[in-house]
C-alpha cells in the first residue's frame, strides 16, 4: 500500500513539474510575441513623419528622358496602434491627377523595414526591404516592380533621407541594362 501511495505521489509530482515547465515555456513564447508586437524605437522614428507635407517631385522616365516636375501634398499617419506608417500622396502628374499610397513597417523579429507602394498609374504593388542608417538618418530600400511596357521585373533602390523634423528627401534609382540612374527625387516640407 505504501508503495502505491509513493508511486501516486511521484506520478503527481512528475505531472505537476511538467505542467510548470509547460507554463514557463508558454510564458517565454508569450514574452517573445509581446516583444514582436510592441512598437519600439524604429516605430517612434517613423512616427516623427506624421503630419501634412508639401511635395516637389522631379522625375525622368529614362536616363536621356525629359525632366518632369510637379508639386503636390502628402499626409503621413501611423496606423494599427503605431505599428505602421502610411503616407498618401496626391498631385498632378503627366496631365493626370495622381494618388499613391506608401506603407512602411519595421519588423521587430527580422530587424528590417518592409515597404509597399501602390498608385492610380498602375495595378501592381511594389515591394521593398530596407535598413536604417542612424549616422546619415537614411532609410535604404531595395525592391522590384514590373515595367508595364516590357513586362519585365525592374530592380530599384530607394533612399529616404530624414533631414530634420520638417524636411525629407526621397530618391529612387532604377537599374537599367546593368546601370543605375536617378529616376525620381521628391522633396518634402512639413506644412
pTM of the model: 0.82
Do 83 and 6 belong together in one domain?
A: no
Do 93 and 164 belong together in one domain?
A: yes
Do 30 and 89 belong together in one domain?
A: no
* pLDDT average per 10 residues of sequence, the chain (191 residues): 51 51 69 91 97 95 83 98 98 90 97 97 95 97 91 94 97 90 95 96
Residue 122's CB is within 10 A of a number of other CB atoms, namely: 13
Joined grid coordinates for residue 173: 534609382
Q: What is the pLDDT of residues 141-178, one digit of tens each?
A: 999 998 888 889 999 999 999 999 999 999 999 988 88
| Separation CA 81–CA 94 (nearest Å) | 36
Do 71 and 88 belong together in one domain?
A: yes
pLDDT of residue 9: 47
Do 79 and 54 belong together in one domain?
A: yes
First to last CA, the chain: 84
Do 55 and 123 belong together in one domain?
A: yes
CA distances from 96 to 107, 120, 167 (A): 35, 10, 26
Do 116 and 31 belong together in one domain?
A: no
**Enclosing domain of residue 23:** 1-37
Amino acid at each position: 500500500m505504501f508503495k502505491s501511495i509513493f508511486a501516486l505521489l511521484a506520478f503527481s509530482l512528475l505531472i505537476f513539474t511538467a505542467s510548470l515547465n509547460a507554463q514557463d515555456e508558454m510564458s517565454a513564447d508569450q514574452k517573445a510575441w509581446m516583444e514582436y508586437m510592441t512598437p519600439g524605437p524604429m516605430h517612434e522614428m517613423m512616427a516623427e513623419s506624421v503630419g501634412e507635407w508639401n511635395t516637389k517631385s522631379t522625375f525622368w522616365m529614362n536616363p536621356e528622358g525629359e525632366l518632369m516636375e510637379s508639386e503636390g501634398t502628402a499626409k503621413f499617419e501611423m496606423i494599427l496602434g503605431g505599428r505602421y506608417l502610411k503616407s498618401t500622396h496626391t498631385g498632378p502628374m503627366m496631365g493626370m491627377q495622381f494618388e499613391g499610397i506608401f506603407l512602411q513597417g519595421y519588423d521587430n523579429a527580422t530587424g528590417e523595414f518592409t515597404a509597399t507602394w501602390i498608385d492610380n498609374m498602375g495595378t501592381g504593388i511594389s515591394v521593398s526591404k530596407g535598413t536604417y542608417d542612424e549616422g546619415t538618418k537614411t532609410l535604404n530600400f531595395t525592391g522590384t516592380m514590373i515595367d508595364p511596357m516590357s513586362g519585365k521585373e525592374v530592380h530599384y533602390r530607394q533612399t529616404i533621407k530624414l533631414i530634420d523634423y520638417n524636411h525629407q528627401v526621397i530618391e529612387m534609382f532604377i537599374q537599367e541594362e546593368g546601370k543605375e540612374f536617378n529616376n525620381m527625387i521628391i522633396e518634402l516640407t512639413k506644412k
